[in-house]
Amino acid sequence: MTTKENIIPPDSLVISYLHGGRFRYQAGESLGPRRLTDYEIVLILEGDVIYNCDDAKYRLQPGSIVLGCPGSLEKYCWDREKTTYHAFIHFGIESTPSDWPPPEKWPHVRINPDPAARPLLRHILRHVNEHPNWPIQSPGRAECRLVETLIDIFLETHITDDAQLERDRPEPIRRALNRMKLNIEEIPVLPLTLAELAREASVTEKHLCRLFTRNMGYTPMRTYSLLRLQYGITLLTRSNLSIKEIAERCGYEDPLYFSRAFSKTYKISPSQMRKDLREGHPPPATMLPADITPRLYW
């Protein structure tokens, strides 16, 4: 009997079976050459591995993930000096999301995959262990979603390392932005001047203004003002502080001046924005690049 929970929506990944586990190989052992007959995802947990797939050769390390597709000719040469330990799942695919590339264009290996991929694979293995009747019985909608998410993460090509989320900006801008953030976080009521930012950036005030206008679209002081106001939105959303307290946390001694600056920038008062946010309305689009918008902590 088909339940509502197991009805898989259209344009989703549908897998026909799923099984997997963990396995250890002694030093110097190998697997293959073999030609895959289904899909397989392998997570290297311990040991360094040489992986050959079709005409390509990869050096895998702990944390690396392999996505094998039917028809691929592959061979694993496990670590020659120590035990290799890996986790794996096998599955069949009936249909894939329309926005995915065809399987023959999928990458085979991610040496440094998105950090979310590894715990997600472990979570899928827990589902496998909870269903001893697999692969005889097809997995349900929940498992299809999990495997779809895992493959989706694997297929992403952008760099996900937090240290690389920041855009490539001139060093003086990065120094000035760090000083702005530090000021808001630790001593928001202390005035911050253009001269201080220029000294922090080791450039002249005029040069810093040119750099900010060209790279950020705003002058340094306008950028600092927008950072403080954006911080105010975070506090309106995620705290019970009064408008006066929020103004102080954002570096405004006068709450009326904060409200005027806020209303001029976002065309809505802080109190009305808080009301709208609590009613489920989305916050306004940020006027600054997403990687520098302030958070409660950096």
Q: Identify which has the larger pLDDT, 176 or 5.
A: 176
What pLDDT, on the 0 to 100 scale, is given for residue 122? 92
4-162 architecture in CATH? Answer: Sandwich (2.60)
Residue 93 main-chain phi, psi, to 5 deg: -115, 130
Q: Identify which has the larger pLDDT, 230 or 167.
A: 230
As given in the structure block, the two tokens for residue 176 are: 């000035």
30-35 and 73-77 strand pairing:
antiparallel
Proportion of the chain above pLDDT 70, given as a percent: 90
What pLDDT, on the 0 to 100 scale, is given for residue 297? 41
User: CA-CA distance, 16 to 8, in Å (whole number)?
Assistant: 12
Under 8 Å between Cβ of 81 and 53: no
Secondary-structure class of domain 171-292 per CATH: mainly alpha
Q: Which residues pair with 257 in a beta bridge?
A: none
| Amino acid making up residue 28 | G
Under 8 Å between Cβ of 91 and 134: no
Q: How confident is the model at residue 201 (pLDDT cuts 50, 70, 90)?
A: very high
CA atoms within 13 A on the CB side of 262: 29
Under 8 Å between Cβ of 31 and 135: no
Element containing residue 266 per DSSP (H, E): helix 255-266
Average pLDDT over residues 151-161: 71
As given in the structure block, the two tokens for residue 83 are: 């035990």
Question: In the chain, where are the structural domains located?
Answer: 4-162, 171-292
Strand order in the sheet with 14-25: 14-25, 84-95, 39-46, 65-68, 109-110
Residues 42-94 pLDDT 10s:
999 999 999 999 989 999 999 999 999 999 999 999 999 999 999 999 999 99
Under 8 Å between Cβ of 154 and 19: no
What pLDDT, on the 0 to 100 scale, is given for residue 296? 44
pLDDT higher than threshold 70 for residue 164: no
User: CA-CA distance, 119 to 109, in Å (whole number)?
Assistant: 17
Tell me: cis bond preceding 135? Omega within 30 of 0 counts.
Answer: yes
Contacts of 138 (CB under 8 A, 6+ apart): 15, 16, 17
Under 8 Å between Cβ of 254 and 195: no
